[in-house]
Amino acid sequence: AQSVTQLDSHVSVSEGTPVLLRCNYSSSYSPSLFWYVQHPNKGLQLLLKYTSAATLVKGINGFEAEFKKSETSFHLTKPSAHMSDAAEYFCVVSVWNSGYALNFGKGTSLLVTP
Amino acid sequence: EPEVTQTPSHQVTQMGQEVILRCVPISNHLYFYWYRQILGQKVEFLVSFYNNEISEKSEIFDDQFSVERPDGSNFTLKIRSTKLEDSAMYFCATRTSGRAYNEQFFGPGTRLTVL
């Protein structure tokens, strides 16, 4: 079975400061990992994905994540938060033996204060 | 840019009624999924569909649920007899064939309210 644990349900940062959203995964197989973002009353948008080609993955809007197999982690970072980054962020794992179904973490709500 | 569309955006129904949620996938995508998100909870996988049959389903996807692709374009989720606990946002997602890291593209969702 595969699962993800998002270590913080809420994160609050000031505009212009770094963002760190933490995610640990568990998988019996080589995982594919994703971060999705959901803005209020909107659908889910892919931020970035780990494809095993590179451990440091760059996504949209300045976000990036580093896959660390030894720590089973896939933390999401951004050097400088913008007000528009306020949203719900989901760490997601997909494994081939589940029909590539996505297994979502519980989400981290990011608040950005002026 | 092609996108997944879903109708209706909102659906209000009485308990025990049947509802059909519709999704139009991106045209060259072959794998289709339904997920739901109960208010305040995480997104949960319901079912995956490929080559006109269910490939995987979760424990949530019981006999009250069914999926089909009736006309080769729409992908539908039917709930035969809705319950209060079916109230949720339902997302359709589609994917091209191939590797696991091919992303799933999500529709905007249908908010289902069961009274």
Say how far apart CA A71 and CA A80 lie, in whole Å. Answer: 25
Distance separating alpha carbons of residues A55 and B46, to the nearest angstrom? 30
Give the span between the Cα atoms of B36 and B111, in whole angstroms: 10
Distance between CA atoms of residues A81 and B2, nearest Å: 29
Q: Is B64 within 8 Å of chain A by CB?
A: no
Q: List C-alpha distances in Å: B35 to A20, A75, B25, B110.
A: 27, 24, 14, 11
pLDDT tens profile B45-77: 999 998 889 989 999 999 999 999 988 789 999
CATH for B5-114, options being 2.40.10.10, 2.30.42.10, 2.60.40.10, 3.40.50.2300: 2.60.40.10
Cα(A83)–Cα(A71) distance, integer angstroms:
31
Q: Which of these CATH numbers, 1.10.1740.10, 2.70.150.10, 2.60.40.10, 2.40.30.60, describes A3-113? A: 2.60.40.10
Q: What is the mean pLDDT of residues A6-32?
A: 93
Q: What is the pLDDT of residues A31-42, one digit of tens each?
A: 889 999 998 877
Nearest CA in chain B to A88: B42
What are the domain boundaries of chain B?
A: 5-114
What pLDDT is attached to residue A7? Answer: 95
For tokens 């069961």, what's the residue?
B114
Q: Residue ranges per domain, chain A? A: 3-113
Q: Are B106 and A45 an interchain contact pair (Cβ–Cβ within 8 Å)? A: yes
Q: Which residues of A touch B42 (CB under 8 A)?
A: 90, 104-107
Q: Residue A94's pLDDT is what?
A: 84
Which residues touch A54 (CB under 8 Å, ≥6 apart)? none
- pLDDT in the model for residue B98: 62
